[in-house]
Structure 1
Amino acid sequence: MYSFELPSGTELELREMTGAEEELLTNQRLIRSGEAINQVLRNCFVRLGEKTDPDLSEVMNLLSGDRLFALVRLRQISLGDEVELELSCPNSACRMTNFVTINLEDLKVTPYGEEREFAFKLPGSKKAVRFGYLDGHKEKRLASLREPNISSAMLIRILDIDGKAPSKKSLAEMSMRDRNALRQEMSRVDAGIDTSVETECDGCGTKIRTRLEAEPAFLFPGVRL
């Protein structure tokens, strides 16, 4: 078994993934609904804090930064520290395949503070916004949306705007200046493990950006999916 401290400070004990978890991660229905990762984490969590054999609700209650941290560490103990990525250049005139090696042990981890809710005054409208972190439940709601977008990702974190419940209309009417400032504030207070990857195409120099967990090689090294 392997022990880690989550960004929130809770101690986590994991076991390696087996063929049962690989079957979950190749089930397209479970992948689309977001249930595959939840089930994999549930299966491989041996202890969470003082609780042995935590159930699915406890996995869902975890903040998103903790959940992604756990997934990265689970990948490490099951498949090793290094991830060999094959990234296609987004430049349609190039499309060169670039090979990048990421060592998971080198990823930056930012711990959570004690706060779980945050207040922010929009610079344009001067309205007061309260927002919180994403957790497993909010991730599941986002995954269930037919066409998730920037607005829905923001809306699901907002608790209220000037004391009123947020709505799609209130987000649509918010100025781009205010929306951008709010996104930056949400990003500023976020914690967890940084899985962003940024490199340049060896052929044309175009910037390539992705996230490790979005790449097949993260969980299926050497397998063409």
Structure 2
Amino acid sequence: MADIISCPSGLTGRIRGMKVREERILADRKLAKSGGQVDELLSACWEEMLEAGPYAFTDGKVDWGRVLQGDRFYALLQVRVLTYGPEYVFAVPCQAASCRARIDWELDLTQLPVRALSDTSRASFMASNRFETTLPDSGKPLRFKLLTGEDERRLPQLQRAAPEKLLSSVLAYRVLDVDGVDARDKRRFLEDLTLRDADYLVDEFDRVDCGVDTTLEVECSACFMRQEVELPFDRGFFLPGQARTARRRERSTSSPA
């Protein structure tokens, strides 16, 4: 089954659902380690480009490494919908310390909110992928970039290298330069930001970007606490049959003899 989709930036093309042969991509550990699974999966399921959007793709082929994160995730979501349908069932633990029950949740993936790339952001991305803002506490103007597929591959390596500095690693990678701050001192400057400035900067990233809102509100059936969770995005997202097998195994072991 194939369908025409238009990504948040305007990149438009014809995609299809996954076939059995795509399972090798999901099972490839080398691709998983290098971060290349998403590119391979999208390349396999993307059949034809109809509109390049803000990208300089002139040969009819999409270079997924140069595509914005928001477009990539949107396209993956549509591949998943075409493969299995829009319903997605997942489980997360309750966040209440006194509960910790398992929350089983189901949603329609086609109902997730989608933010389009604004005309202003499109122009800035096409020009040089440079966006400017001024931090409220420090008063420093700075420039930052939107993340693409190539950035997706590099960020996990940086985060693994310094897991205790996750936020500063992301900020340092996305911030291109800061007025009055030498490039060698950029990391130190960002680590010394007030949390208000850091929160403002992350909000600025989101404001000019595009993509799918994956923050969900779920309710625990045991304690009725409502809580926000991120849409689980792992191998089970593309191979729900394995999740069903795990649930069957769990039910069989918990059933009375």
Distance 1:213 1:73 in 2: 16
Please, what is the CA RMSD of the aligned residues? 2.3
Partner residue of 1:120 out of 133, 143, 147: 133
TM-score computed with the length of structure 2 as normaliser: 0.78
Q: Secondary structure of the equivalent of 1:101?
A: strand
In structure 2, stretches of 5+ residues that fail to align are 53-57, 247-257
The letter of the residue matching 2:16 is R
- Structure 1: state its 5+ residue gaps: none
Which string of whole-angstrom CA distances, capped at 9 and with x for unpartnered residues, describes residues 121-145 of structure 1? Answer: 1111111011121110111110223
Give SS of 2:242's match: coil
Describe the shift of the 1:75–1:209 C-alpha distance in structure 2 as closer, same or farther (beyond 3 A).
same
In 2: Cα distance, 1:144 partner to 1:23 partner: 23
Structural mapping, 1:14-163, within 5 Å = 14-48=15-49, 49=51, 54=61, 58-113=63-118, 114=122, 115-116=124-125, 117-145=130-158, 146=160, 147=162, 149-162=166-179
Structure with the larger helix share: 2
Deviation at 1:196? Answer: 2.0
Q: C-alpha offsets along residues 46-78 of structure 1, whole Å, 9 cap, x if unaligned?
A: 1233667736xx111000000000000010111
- Which has more radius of gyration? 2
Identity of aligned residues (%): 31
SS at match of 2:216: strand
> In the aligned structure 1, how far is the partner of 2:67 from the partner of 2:186?
25
- Using the alignment, how far apart are the partners of 2:17 and 2:32 within structure 1? 20
User: What's the counterpart of residue 179 of structure 1?
Assistant: 198
User: Contact conserved, 2:178 with 2:186, CA < 8 A, in 1?
Assistant: no
